[in-house]
Amino acid sequence: MISWFSKYFPNVVQLGWSGDAGWGTSIFQTLFMTFWSAIFGGILGIIFGVILVLTNEDGIRPNKFWFNVCDKIVSIFRAVPFVIMLAFIAPVTQKIVGTQIGMKAALIPLTLGVFPFYARQVQVALESVDQGKIEAAQSLGATVKDIIFDVYLSESRSELVRVSTVTIISLIGLTAMAGAIGAGGLGNTAIAYGYNRFDNDVTLVATVLVIILIFIVQIVGDFFAKRLNHQSR
C-alpha cells in the first residue's frame, strides 16, 4: 500500500508530514485559522445579530439609529470581497498582531470576513422564534437579558447550530484564500505546491482533505442540531 501510494503520489510523499510545507503543518494551519476565526467571528456575529433583532421596528427595543448603524456595518463588510479585505485592512492587522503575514495575521480578515455572514444568519434564526413566546415572557416581567438568553437564544439553539455549521464550512473556504498573505493551510498547499508546480497529486490530496474536514463539520453540526431540536420539544 505504501509503495503504491509513493508510486502514484510521489509529490505528496515528498512534501512530508512536518516542515513548513508538510501536510501536518498545513492541516494544523487550516484548523488554527478556522477555529479561532469561528470563535471571534461567531461572537461578533451573535452580538450584531441580537442587536439587529432587538432594535428592529418589530423588536422588543426598537431603535432606528442603532439598527441602521449595525445594519450598514454588516452590509458593508459583507459586500467587500475577501481577497480585497486581506489587503484593505492590512494596516489594522499590523497594529493588532504586529505583522501582516502568517496565521495570526489571517485571523483579523477572516474574522471580519465571516462575521457579517454569520450575523445575518443569526438574525434570521432569532426572527424565526415564535412571537407569542416573546410576548408571554414580557407579560411575566422578563428583562431584556432574560428574553435574549431564555427565549431568543434558547428557542433557536437548533437553528443556530445549523447556521453555525454553514458558516464554519464557508470559513474553511476562506482559509484557502488566506494563503495570499502567507497564512498557509491546505488551500495554500493545493495552489502553491500543487497547481503552480503542476503537481496534480498534491492538489488532489489537499482537496480531498478539505472535503473530509467539511464532511466532519457537517456531520457533527447535523448531529447536535437534531439533538437540540428534539430536546426543545
The domain made up of 30-183 has a fold known as: MetI-like fold (1.10.3720)
Give tens-digit pLDDT for 113-161: 999 999 999 999 999 888 889 989 888 888 999 999 999 999 899 999 9
DSSP annotation of 98 reads S
Show me where the domains of the chain are located. 30-183
Check pLDDT > 70 for residue 233.
Answer: no
Give tens-digit pLDDT for 17-44: 888 889 999 999 999 999 999 999 999 9
pLDDT of residue 232: 57
3-state helix, strand, coil in the chain (%, to 5): 80, 0, 20
Which is nearest to 57 in space by CA: 47, 44, 71? 71
How far is CA 20 from each of CA 102, 188, 192, 199, rounded to the nearest angstrom?
12, 12, 12, 18
**Type of residue found at 131:** Q
Q: What is the pTM of this model?
A: 0.90
